Structure 1
Amino acid sequence: MKPIFKEIPRAIIISLTIFFVLVLIRLITGNSITFNYALLVNFGYTMLYGLTLYLSNAIVFMYLDKVFQAERFTPKRILIGFVLSFLVSVLVIFFLRIFEDVIVDGLSFSVFLSQEHMANYLVAIIITLVVTLAFHAFYFYKAYAENKVKEQKVIAGTASAQFESLKNQIDPHFLFNSLNVLSSL
């Protein structure tokens, strides 16, 4: 199974979580939630944006893991990952907005471009930044912890080997001393 397909369940869970957080924000701010077609469309767009953004960023991180295989936890890798993730996210949001306005809503491309403003991207970029930072932090903490466990296993293996070596050195002396005691008796 390709690694990107393993990410789909996680992408679905994150997209659903974002949808429920957005609904919760509406409820907290005093807006009412009605289960109608508009909510279904909102759910569809949230899932579309969430899945597409997550999977595109997952591809970026998988590529960077291959490029920085030996240097996965350097500040250079983290900075490049964050900047690339941000740029890919903005580009994906732009293409999703084209899909939403031009293909689904039927606007012409020139009208779409004339109506584009940075405010159209603000919420999506903020959510993407928060999710990206959270996953960046979680991912690197998890990988850092795994590396620490590997280091501890190597240290434990070395200590165990040293112990066995010392034990093997002591055993012949013990046997020799025991034989000496027996022969003197």
Structure 2
Amino acid sequence: MFMLPLKILTLLLFFCLTFPHISSSTSTSSGGDDATVCIIGSGIGGSSVAHFLRQYSTNHHPKILIFERHAIVGGRMATVTIGGDAFEAGASILHPKNYHASNYTDLLNLTGKIPSSSESSISLGIWDGNGFVVKTLNANSNWGIVNKIVSFFNGIYLFMRYGFSLVKNGRVCGRYSE
């Protein structure tokens, strides 16, 4: 139901950005001190685009409009509170090999959080909104052998559930992260 208008809107946006001379009949020839840039979404991508446009734009005062459907900045990098407990939802982890995100966090003097041994766990769960669809065993043991045994059984469980697709996914992700 939403797909057709969304596809039309996407195509319209694509053509307006691809062929700017068609839609710029009211532009000024003064060098563009009144340039307006619209950014959809205030997640890490939209926020960084706004920052770098403001920082490195040849236009000294670009007008930047960010359209966000939620009342907070951050996009999918957010926390949700369920039953009084805060959970990280969506993209809450930045991979250290993500060059641009790492440099962006350094630029803004943001600090990363490395979980303590009591917070870190080898447990995994997939929540569908009503309950856990998949939940692996949890082991917070100081004994390395116990953690290895639990990890082994979790691996067998996930292999029985998903087969070789996890192995294929690991290979593809490994290729792109190098």
TM-score (norm 1): 0.19
Q: Higher strand fraction: Structure 1 or Structure 2?
A: 2
Q: Which has the larger radius of gyration?
A: 1
Q: Higher helix fraction: Structure 1 or Structure 2?
A: 1
